[in-house]
Chains A and B, each alone.
Chain A
Amino acid sequence: DGGITQSPKYLFRKEGQNVTLSCEQNLNHDAMYWYRQDPGQGLRLIYYSQIVNDFQKGDIAEGYSVSREKKESFPLTVTSAQKNPTAFYLCASSERTGGNQPQHFGDGTRLSIL
């Protein structure tokens, strides 16, 4: 079945540590996204990528980094510079970027600080 796979489902980070969240899609979509969800808030865009080897900052990119070396993969690294990393992280993809492109989401990764 086509879809988006995020791993791990739960992740714990120690102070000063970088952690990487995995996102893989087999939908052959060009565009991929990373969102962060905090309690009582909507999804906020961290980074997005329109095509392989290209990515753009979203609204809250500080403390995060991404890469898009392969069409199907868009890993997110939460660096030690992100002072409040505890949140639910969602990866999504769409055929292409554009506000009328419904996005397909993974099941998320919950990141917590130890």
Chain B
Amino acid sequence: DQQVKQNSPSLSVQEGRISILNCDYTNSMFDYFLWYKKYPAEGPTFLISISSIKDKNEDGRFTVFLNKSAKHLSLHIVPSQPGDSAVYFCAASALGRSSASKIIFGSGTRLSIRP
């Protein structure tokens, strides 16, 4: 049973518009969330994170929103650029449980930015 779900395997957005990638989780113990970006033939790279004490975290063109009651988070990219075309992984962890808490990854969403 997947604890972190990215229900859209792919997303196509026009350059300059907003890209919204969604992620749902089932474990109410999760209190820290991360987004990773992956280009073909490369490993994932860390993009942005958010703690459950916040509902929004912004870093340049990237903003992550967290809705704890709905167990849902989203990554907004504004404006979308061609270099944003990649696979985006949502990940979650339960910090309070252990100093060695594991990160659980979603299955990824492939974002394509079209001209």
Contact = CB atoms under 8 A, between A and B. Distances in A.
A58 B45 CA distance: 21
Interface residues of A, number: 28
A16 interface: no
A6 to B, nearest CB: 8
B50 to A, nearest CB: 10
Interface string A24-53: 000000000001000011111100101000
A63 interface: no
Contacts of B46: 102-104
Contacts of B93: 98-100
A85 interface: no
B26 to A, nearest CB: 13
B85 interface: no
Interface in B91-115: 92-95, 99-108
Contact of B49 (A41, A92, A97, A102): A102
Question: When A and B form their complex, which 10 residue pairs have the shortest distance between CB atoms, in order from nearest?
Answer: A99-B93, A105-B43, A42-B105, A102-B46, A99-B101, A43-B105, A97-B100, A42-B107, A99-B95, A100-B32
Interface of B: 2, 4, 6, 9, 32, 34, 36, 41-46, 49, 51, 89, 92-95, 99-108
Interface of A: 4, 6, 35, 40-45, 48, 50, 56, 58-59, 90, 92, 96-100, 102-108
